[in-house]
Structure 1
Amino acid sequence: MRRHGQPARAPQPHPIGHEYGEYGFLVGSLIDRATLERAEAEALLCDVPTHEVLLATGRVSQLDYATALAHRLGVPNVSWNAPLDLTDAVDWPATEIGLPARLAGRPCRVLAATQAPPSMLSGHVAALRGQGVDVVLASQLLIDAALEAHAGPQKIDRAVRGLLRQQPASSAGARVSTWQMIVAVGAVGLLIGGLAVQPDATLAALTALIALPFLCVTALRVVALRQGLARPAARTRPGGQRAPRIPVRFLPVYTVLVPVFREANVLPGLIQSLRALDYPPAKLEIFLVLEAVDTETQAAVAKLALPGNFRSLVVPEGGPQTKPKALNYALQFARGDFVVVYDAEDRPQPGQLRRAWDVFRQSPPGLACLQAQLNIYNPRQSWFTRQFTIEYSALFDAILPALEKLRLPVPLGGTSNHFPRATLVDIGAWDPFNVTEDADLGVRIARLGYQTGVLASTTWEEAPPVFRVWLTQRTRWLKGWMQTYLVHTRQLRRLNSELGLPAAIGFHALMGGLIGSALVHPLFYLLLVFHWLSGNLLAPSETAAGAVMWTIAFINLAFGYAVSILVGVISVWRRRRPDLAVHALLMPLLISFAAYRALYQLARDPYLWEKTEHGVGS
């Protein structure tokens, strides 16, 4: 993989002889001959330099390798506490050999020990010395740490304000548009005036109007039943199909980003799940992305014996403290051709990366993202986990595949999103001001003309088992969906132009329908209770307006519930969890409570990130 200072055209290798070959200088002091031979064989299969295998598998540490190689090349090795100044290297061209630096005040050129094989580095050293340049060697970890110290403010600024500067209309960091404010105020005024002048007609009109979100969501679920559950396409079938055995030399370098915030308790399980990924370590880099304020998790990570392809990255303070900001910061250090995001409690199927690459390589260039299917590994822990399992099964096994088939915007889940890195950077990555950056990114992908697919591989997640944790998570989701809907409806004409009218209608039905139905759901219950208390629940209405209200309410509740329950029942049945089907009735009012809490937060504290606790009750 590319390193800082790796030239575009490497010079001719310079001889660096040893009886055991190019890496023989490691034998005896760091590894034995058998270990070297195994690493060389693996490197040949992966088509990477031998040192990348040794480092990625943890057989040799970066610091030890740099020390041994510096001794072999006869150049100074920069120690971890040395005063290495890389101020001039922040914008240094990648085509140049090494990075300009100052060591204890003296100018020099620093080479990363892992940027090329030893023979190639030997040639670099000879070339630079021939130009009268002092050369020092350092580990890539040390160089990255020094660059972070100097470039950190610039990188955090890009992480926070990059999208806002490049695409201000696409960021939740910008203000609500004037027309949106006018519509909101005007709607409230019309409602108050109508209730004062013609209360019956106003209530009938209001009932018909608020029925629209229910009808939209119901229509979407009907499509999901027909499209997503009839005969799913090969790449959308749930389950654990074995990943295709693509020769490892053809596999790209993959970067895994895992934001971890106040989750020291789940680190052992996380590391175990990531180590289980069926992907060559020499082509896999894994970032544990930590927050500067979270010293507890930093200390826990420091105590772990992590493999060589793992790295912890601390996000500096600045801007909103959100997951998308952390991801934007970490993305600037990623060197993989493809990027995937996992959460700290995730358990992805081991073959997921291989399967994603197999789909990408067979798909047109316009495929910007693959969303793996999410499901729950603690479905029977509590009533809430059972509800969560039903929702996830319906969403990822039925609704999202239906959206993909219909070429509608696909709101991503917050984890297991696979991207070509260049495409992700091109579309602006994540919005740090949106607390459901995943849903927003899915819509932006569609607006920019790219596609999202659903991947036939499951990532198992932990569902919140108690109401307190469920409420904060659901509030954040609903607030983020409100942010996303407001952002993408700022310029309706542009939205229709970029998506096309059918997809734009689908966006309103999905995002607007989910938000609207959550907010108006209690009103339908109140209407039923009012008729029941007045003794008119089953009595014919005396007015046309009353008949309209009753008919709309009854059809929405009966048909909407029936379709919603049917999607959930079939989805959990396909997941071989039929015992959960009876629990598909009871969640809507709690979601409505979370929706009003989200609406309050949106007005009071729009960028508040209520972190979901994991490992609760486990």
Structure 2
Amino acid sequence: MLVLQLLDILLMVLGTGALIYQVVYILVALLAKPRVFPEAAKDQRFAVLVSARNEENVLPHLIASLRANDYPQNLIDIWVVADNCTDNTAQVVENLGEHVVERFDSEHIGKGYALTFLLNKMMALGQASQYDAFFVFDADNFVEPNYFTEMNKVFQAGFPVVTSFRTASNFDQNWVSSGSGIWWLREMRFVNSSRMILGNSAQVGGTGFMFSQAVMRMNDGWRFHLLTEDAEFGLNCVLNGIRIGYCNSAILYDEQPVRFSQSWQQRLRWSVGYLQVWRYYAGALVEHMVRERDLSALDFSLFLAPFTAMWFLRIIIGYVFAALGFITVSSQNQVLINWIIGLVGGMLLMMALAVLCCILERDKIQASNKELLGYCLSFPVYFMSLVPISILALISKPQWKPIAHQGRQIVTASNSESEEA
């Protein structure tokens, strides 16, 4: 009984803390204006890092988008690592006049290893030291024309690491891509924006972020290789007192999976990756939170805590104890019912947030009102699928696998100009 009581107390404290934090973030996002940064004092020199595996069809769109930016083009160099490619990715990049290095390693698979290889190569060539900061993009991304100018404002405002506004380029394709799109809208509007207003660090999301030369040197290039290397990188920044900024005005478009099986595997990999990060860093994160009284550490603790998995294990342990005769089955049935009620409440909250996000960020969504209504109604299915995914993550060992991209774009000022050219 004592074990179960302690677990219940722990889950109640963590769950209440996470709920309060979310409510505070929502209120801050609704009542306060996003943080605005002054014009940058000077233009910095940037390197764009792209890990690409068989991306010959979509890379030209990304490169055209970057080259259509209003930032001085002589201060932007694009470096692509063609990672275990079997197509003409390397040749396509070379034909476009950009830097490309090829990597062939069937043992160390994943974006983290590819970025390590690329930065190590740049340092060996003596090229890395000439840049003030490094951007990380995926091959299927494209950006608005003022992207680098806006990111540079936040960078020069004193943030060594900066992440941007991320939204789906194929939001209106189907209910799966819109589910991811709504999820990212919520992260941007009700999490990262509020973090900046409150003075906490933002969370990088795998693509569309930058880090300074000093951060690169501190990490001796790139040394993050878990399945969620972005979460590991962000956590490392918090533990080292490095503030992560968020730029609401720098918009990045990212292609989302359109098949549910692809989305399932992607989110399963992320869930396993978050469990890895929690296992390796939870102790250090809690210690840092207590010692430094760092709200960013508290934020990341609540963000990474595997609530669903913890509740599932609590219920399993409860029924095991009931089978051994230590407690009654009826008491554990009530715990299960309470958990289900909590899940339904969470689903309703997320559905309300989905509607609110779509209203507040309507100008960033490429979909008709009718489609948007349907996507909001289908979002609970997307959201609730995270429950079995989080449970399966306890026993799964997924490997990094590339997702085939269609190169689908929406019309922005940058890609329309590139097409006319």
**Normalised-by-shorter TM-score class:** 0.7 to 0.9
2:335 aligned to 530, 549, 558, which one?
A: 549
Residues 1:301 and 2:87 are matched in the alignment: no
Pairwise CA distance, 1:325: 1.8
C-alpha offsets along residues 207-253 of structure 1, whole Å, 9 cap, x if unaligned? 666556654443332122112232232349xxxxxx96x79xx4121
Residues 1:259 and 2:77 are matched in the alignment: no
Structure 2 residues not aligned, in runs of 5+: 123-127, 319-327, 366-371, 410-421
- Distance in 2 (alpha carbons) for counterparts of 1:498 and 1:613: 45
* SS in structure 1 of the partner of residue 138 of structure 2: coil
What is aligned with 1:96?
none
1:588 aligned to 354, 360, 383, which one?
A: 383
* SS in structure 2 of the partner of residue 233 of structure 1: coil
Pairwise CA distance, 1:341: 0.6
Q: How does 1:571-582 map to 2 (within 5 A)?
A: 571-576=357-362, 577=365, 579=373, 580-582=375-377
1:283–1:395 distance in 2 versus 1, CA, 3 Å: same
Residues 1:321 and 2:113 are matched in the alignment: no
What is aligned with 1:62?
none
Amino acid at match of 2:205: G
What is aligned with 1:341?
136
Given that 2:51 and 2:111 are in contact with CA atoms closer than 8 Å, whether structure 1 keeps it comes out as yes
1:209–1:449 distance in 2 versus 1, CA, 3 Å: closer
- Distance in 2 (alpha carbons) for counterparts of 1:400 and 1:557: 24
- Distance in 2 (alpha carbons) for counterparts of 1:260 and 1:546: 49
The TM-score with structure 1 as length reference comes to 0.55
What is aligned with 2:79?
287
What is aligned with 2:280?
487
* SS in structure 1 of the partner of residue 82 of structure 2: strand
* SS in structure 2 of the partner of residue 265 of structure 1: coil
Count residues in correspondence: 381
Amino acid at match of 1:402: S
What is aligned with 2:412?
none
- Distance in 2 (alpha carbons) for counterparts of 1:328 and 1:289: 10
1:609 aligned to 384, 400, 403, which one?
A: 400
- Distance in 1 (alpha carbons) for counterparts of 2:185 and 2:286: 35
Given that 1:473 and 1:611 are in contact with CA atoms closer than 8 Å, whether structure 2 keeps it comes out as no
Residues 1:474 and 2:267 are matched in the alignment: yes
1:251–1:487 distance in 2 versus 1, CA, 3 Å: same
1:616–1:352 distance in 2 versus 1, CA, 3 Å: closer
Pairwise CA distance, 1:472: 1.9
* SS in structure 1 of the partner of residue 380 of structure 2: coil
* SS in structure 1 of the partner of residue 58 of structure 2: helix
2:26 aligned to 214, 225, 228, which one?
A: 225
- Same amino acid, percent of matched pairs: 21
1:306–1:421 distance in 2 versus 1, CA, 3 Å: farther
The TM-score with structure 2 as length reference comes to 0.78
C-alpha offsets along residues 484-508 of structure 1, whole Å, 9 cap, x if unaligned? 1112124466433565364443332
What is aligned with 1:417?
209
* SS in structure 2 of the partner of residue 612 of structure 1: coil
Given that 1:289 and 1:313 are in contact with CA atoms closer than 8 Å, whether structure 2 keeps it comes out as yes
Q: How does 1:490-569 map to 2 (within 5 A)?
A: 490-491=283-284, 494-496=287-289, 499-500=292-293, 502-512=295-305, 515-517=306-308, 520=311, 545=331, 549=335, 552-553=338-339, 556-557=342-343, 559-569=345-355
1:392–1:230 distance in 2 versus 1, CA, 3 Å: same
1:518–1:264 distance in 2 versus 1, CA, 3 Å: farther
What is aligned with 1:92?
none
- Distance in 2 (alpha carbons) for counterparts of 1:617 and 1:474: 21
1:433–1:359 distance in 2 versus 1, CA, 3 Å: closer
1:359–1:211 distance in 2 versus 1, CA, 3 Å: same
1:453–1:521 distance in 2 versus 1, CA, 3 Å: farther
* SS in structure 2 of the partner of residue 342 of structure 1: strand
Given that 1:446 and 1:499 are in contact with CA atoms closer than 8 Å, whether structure 2 keeps it comes out as no
* SS in structure 1 of the partner of residue 47 of structure 2: strand
Residues 1:458 and 2:251 are matched in the alignment: yes
What is aligned with 1:350?
145
Pairwise CA distance, 1:610: 2.4
- Distance in 1 (alpha carbons) for counterparts of 2:51 and 2:332: 53
Q: How does 1:90-489 map to 2 (within 5 A)?
A: 210=11, 214-235=15-36, 250-291=42-83, 293-296=84-87, 299-303=88-92, 306-308=95-97, 310-317=98-105, 320-332=108-120, 333=122, 334=128, 335-361=130-156, 363-364=157-158, 367-456=159-248, 457-489=250-282
C-alpha offsets along residues 398-429 of structure 1, whole Å, 9 cap, x if unaligned? 11222334444533100111222222322455
Question: RMSD between aligned alpha carbons?
Answer: 3.5
1:561–1:356 distance in 2 versus 1, CA, 3 Å: same
- Distance in 2 (alpha carbons) for counterparts of 1:440 and 1:369: 14
1:234–1:496 distance in 2 versus 1, CA, 3 Å: closer
Structure 1 residues not aligned, in runs of 5+: 1-193, 195-200, 237-242, 528-541
- Distance in 2 (alpha carbons) for counterparts of 1:462 and 1:443: 25
- Distance in 2 (alpha carbons) for counterparts of 1:613 and 1:553: 37
1:304–1:402 distance in 2 versus 1, CA, 3 Å: closer
1:433–1:550 distance in 2 versus 1, CA, 3 Å: closer
- Distance in 1 (alpha carbons) for counterparts of 2:52 and 2:3: 50
C-alpha offsets along residues 256-315 of structure 1, whole Å, 9 cap, x if unaligned? 011101222312322322222222222111011112x3131xx2431467444x111123
- Distance in 2 (alpha carbons) for counterparts of 1:229 and 1:439: 26
Given that 1:213 and 1:517 are in contact with CA atoms closer than 8 Å, whether structure 2 keeps it comes out as no
Amino acid at match of 2:253: W
Amino acid at match of 2:162: L
